[in-house]
A and B are shown apart, each in its own frame.
Chain A
Amino acid sequence: MSRDLKVGLFIGCTVVILIAALLYLATGKGVFEQTHTFTLSSRSGDGFAAGMPVVFSGFDIGKVAALELNDEGLVLIKIKIPDRHVKWIRSDSSFILYRPLIGSAQIVVSTVNLKSPPLAENQIPQVSIVNDINDAIARIEPVLEKVAQIAEHAERLTRNLSDPKGDLNRVLGNAEKITTNLASKKSLAEMAISDEESLRSLNDSLKKLKDITNNVDRLLIKVDKMADRTDEQLYGSEGALPQANVILKDMIGKLQKLDKTIDNINTISSDASAGTRDFEILRSDIDDLVDSLTDIVKKMEGLIGTRKNPEFKAP
């Protein structure tokens, strides 16, 4: 292959690839597409710019082509919409200039009724303005006032700090005095009491307190040992509590036996009670018998008293 051919192929192929890529981009961007120009109006041109996107439902459907000022002082905004997007621009469409706090401004198109007639190219709807920046400034203003107040307070504080007779400097002076005093004393207690006799008494008291604490410690050790022993005597294998436990178990066994005896006694008692009731009947029978006998005796006495030889024949 000759050098000329190689160079020709290189240039030809690369140019073809480059042109194909550019054509693909141009077609995709709608460069060869027919566009419709609509005119919008606004009282102010502030915020508008050529090339600004026109957005419908979050999608770019066109851009601002030009800005003009008419004889009445109104700003005319020419927007170019490609043929495939012109269906979103209707006669009842509203146009809003949206200026977000962050990001570029855009004209937002909203159409309530997509079946309404298309917007005529000679019709000039007005653009409403939504300004996030102004809203943000309105919201920030009170915050800024507070910040100014805080700054004023901070300034007052720094002024107080820089003033040698200020509160803080006085506090610092006192602190310095205290630290100097502390540095010249042997201890904090010495600084607090300042009387040497009292300090000595305090030291003696503290020593005694230490002795007392030692004694108490020793006592506590003894008590601890005693407690151990008591514990052993009470709870050990030969301790009082296990033995008492055995006795109690024995007592429970005996009481159970006693329960049976008492039951028997109860039975006997009820039998005796029944017997007693029989005795009463028997007694009444005996009483009746005695009474009968008495009657008989009386009758016999009557009989005997009237006769000479009283004889009584026993039945």
Chain B
Amino acid sequence: MISFWENLGHRATMLFLAFADTIAFSGRVFLRIFQRKTYSSAMREVLVNQIYFTSVQILPVFLLVSIVFGSLLIGIVFTLLKQFGLTDFIGHVLMGLIVTELAPFLTVLLITLRSSAAINTEMAVMKVNREIKTLETFRIDVIDYLLAPRVINGIISIVLLSSLCSIVLLVSGILFSRLIFGMGMDVYSKILLISTNFSDIVIALVKCGIFGFFITLIPIRFGLRASHELTSIPVAVSRGMVNVFSAILIIEVLSLVTKLF
């Protein structure tokens, strides 16, 4: 019985320490983002490459998925609104649910599945191959060279791609509002204007930034925790991805709580 409580206490302490460690690490990386010396020419090159791989390369597929998924979603939501006689709430549903909630969520899911997993694996492989150690030997700041570009890329990519997804959804909304409700462009834009709250948009953008920060930082963190054995790579990747999805859910809940106040 006592060993059970000891075990539980040990696990809780470890969890708390890991959480505190991650927050402290996040703070260090976050502060480094705002320091001028971080932005060396090598770092900028890495940043451009990261943005290219994360956003530009994926853009056609991302736009296609946004159009297909967004049109489907808006079509279903509009049809349901019409069936339940909730046409008056079309603007609030469009802005409050689809644009500020579902678009960031869809974007973060796609980027997490594609880029976070890649970053996590890349970091774990670098750790196994002792590349990190080599960088440190050459006195190259790992945070500046490896972490900061990836984290900044995460923030920029999620914010921009999420905004693009929202705009695609709004354009789909024009088409579906005409098809389902027979609504003109003027009426549609007026409804959107009435239903839009700038605070919601700001919260959505900040949320996207936080998503971008953590869906790159957590995989890096868990990738760097890999040992020097090849077998530690899948363990580090799976743990990192589980933690990334947990972080996404926590951020989503926190953003909803923020909206309540």
A residues lining the B interface (CB < 8 Å): 3-4, 6-7, 10-11, 14-15, 17-18, 21-22, 25-26, 28-29, 31, 60
Chain B binding surface SS class: helix
Name 28 interchain pairs, CB-CB below 8 A, sorted by A. A3-B48, A3-B56, A4-B48, A7-B48, A7-B51, A7-B52, A7-B55, A7-B56, A10-B51, A10-B55, A10-B56, A10-B59, A11-B51, A11-B156, A14-B160, A14-B164, A17-B164, A18-B160, A18-B167, A21-B167, A25-B192, A25-B196, A25-B198, A28-B193, A28-B196, A29-B193, A29-B196, A60-B194
Q: Which A-chain residue is minimally distant from B164 (CB atoms)? A: A14
Question: What residues of B have a CB within 8 angstroms of the CB of A4 in the complex?
Answer: 48
Bound state CA distance, A30 and B53, in angstroms? 39
Query: Chain A residues with Cβ under 8 A from B59's Cβ?
Result: 10
Q: Which of B56, B161, B196 contacts A6 (CB 8 A)?
A: B56
A7 to B198, CA, bound (A): 28
Q: Closest B-chain residue to A30, C-beta based?
A: B193
Residues of A within 8 A of B56 (CB): 3, 6-7, 10
A18–B99 alpha-carbon span in the complex (Å): 13
* A18 and B193 form a contact (CB under 8 A): no
Smallest Cβ-Cβ distance to B163: which chain A residue: A18
B113-125: CB near A (< 8 Å → 1, else 0) gives 0000000000000
Number of A-B contacts (CB under 8 A): 48
Bound complex: CA A28 to CA B163 (Å) = 19
In the A-B complex, the 9 residue pairs with the smallest Cβ-Cβ separation, listed nearest first, are A28-B193, A14-B160, A18-B163, A7-B51, A10-B56, A6-B56, A3-B52, A7-B48, A7-B52
Q: Which residues of B contact A (CB under 8 A)?
A: 48-49, 51-52, 55-56, 59, 156, 160-161, 163-164, 167, 189, 192-194, 196, 198, 201
Nearest-neighbour CB distance to chain B for A24, whole angstroms, equals: 8
A2 CB to nearest chain B CB (Å): 10
Contact of B52 among A6, A21, A29 (CB under 8 A): A6
B14, chain A: closest CB distance, angstroms: 41
Q: How far is the CB of B190 from chain A (nearest CB, A)?
A: 8
- CB-CB nearest in chain A for B47: A7
A29 to B201, CA, bound (A): 13
Interface SS, A side = helix
Complex: how many Å from CA A10 to CA B50? 13
Q: Which A residues lie within 8 Å of B160 (CB)?
A: 10-11, 14-15, 18
Most buried by A among B56, B59, B192: B56
Asked if A22 contacts B201 (CB within 8 A), the reply is yes
Q: Smallest Cβ distance from B193 to chain A, in angstroms?
A: 4
Q: In the bound complex, what is the Cα–Cα distance between A11 and B164 (angstroms)? A: 11
Are the CB atoms of A14 and B189 closer together than 8 Å? no
Can you name the residue of chain A whose Cβ is closest to the Cβ of B196? A25
Collect the chain B residues with CB atoms within 8 Å of residue A14's CB: 160-161, 163-164
Q: Which residues of B contact A28 (CB under 8 A)?
A: 189, 193, 196
Query: With A4-B48, A6-B56, A28-B193 given, can you name 16 additional A-B contacts, CB distance below 8 Å?
Result: A3-B48, A6-B52, A7-B56, A10-B56, A10-B160, A14-B163, A15-B160, A18-B163, A21-B163, A21-B167, A25-B192, A25-B198, A25-B201, A26-B198, A28-B189, A29-B196
* Closest B residue, CB atoms, query A21: B167
* Shortest distance between the CB of A106 and any CB in chain B (Å): 14
Neighbouring A residues of B156 by C-beta, 8 Å:
11
Task: Say whether B193 contacts A25, CB under 8 Å.
Answer: yes
Give the residues in chain B near A10, CB-CB below 8 Å. 51, 55-56, 59, 160
Assess whether B55 is in contact with A17, with CB atoms less than 8 Å apart.
no
> How far apart sit A176 and B51, CA to CA, in the bound complex (Å)?
86
B195 to chain A minimum Cβ distance, whole angstroms, is 10
Q: A3-B48, A6-B52 are in contact. Are A17 and B167 (CB under 8 A)?
A: yes
On chain A, the residues within 8 Å of B161 by CB distance are 14
Nearest B residue to A15 via CB reads B160
Q: Which residue of B lies closest to A25 (CB)?
A: B196
Tell me the nearest residue of chain A to B45, going by C-beta: A4
Min CB gap A26→B, angstroms = 8
Give A17 to B160 CA distance when docked, in angstroms: 10
Taking CB atoms, residues of chain A closer than 8 Å to B52 are 3, 6-7
Q: How far is the CA of A17 from the CA of B56 in the complex (A)?
A: 16
Q: What is the chain B residue whose CB lies nearest that of A22?
A: B201
Closest CB of chain B to A59's CB: distance in Å?
10
Whole-angstrom distance between the Cβ of A49 and the nearest chain B Cβ: 13
| Residues of chain B with a CB closer than 8 A to A26's CB | 198
Report chain B residues within 8 Å CB of A21: 163, 167
Task: Tell me which residues across on chain A come within 8 A of B198, comparing CB atoms.
Answer: 25-26, 29, 31
Compute how far the CA of A17 lies from the CA of B164 in the bound complex, rounded to whole angstroms: 8
CB nearest to A10 among chain B residues? B56
Task: Count chain B CB atoms within 10 A of each CB in A3, A7, A18, A25 and give the residue with the most.
Answer: A7
A10 CA / B161 CA spacing, docked (Å): 10
| Cα separation A6 to B194 with both chains bound (whole Å) | 36
In the bound assembly, the distance between CA atoms of A26 and B192 in angstroms comes to 12
Query: Which residue in B163, B194, B196 is a CB contact (below 8 Å) of A17?
Result: B163
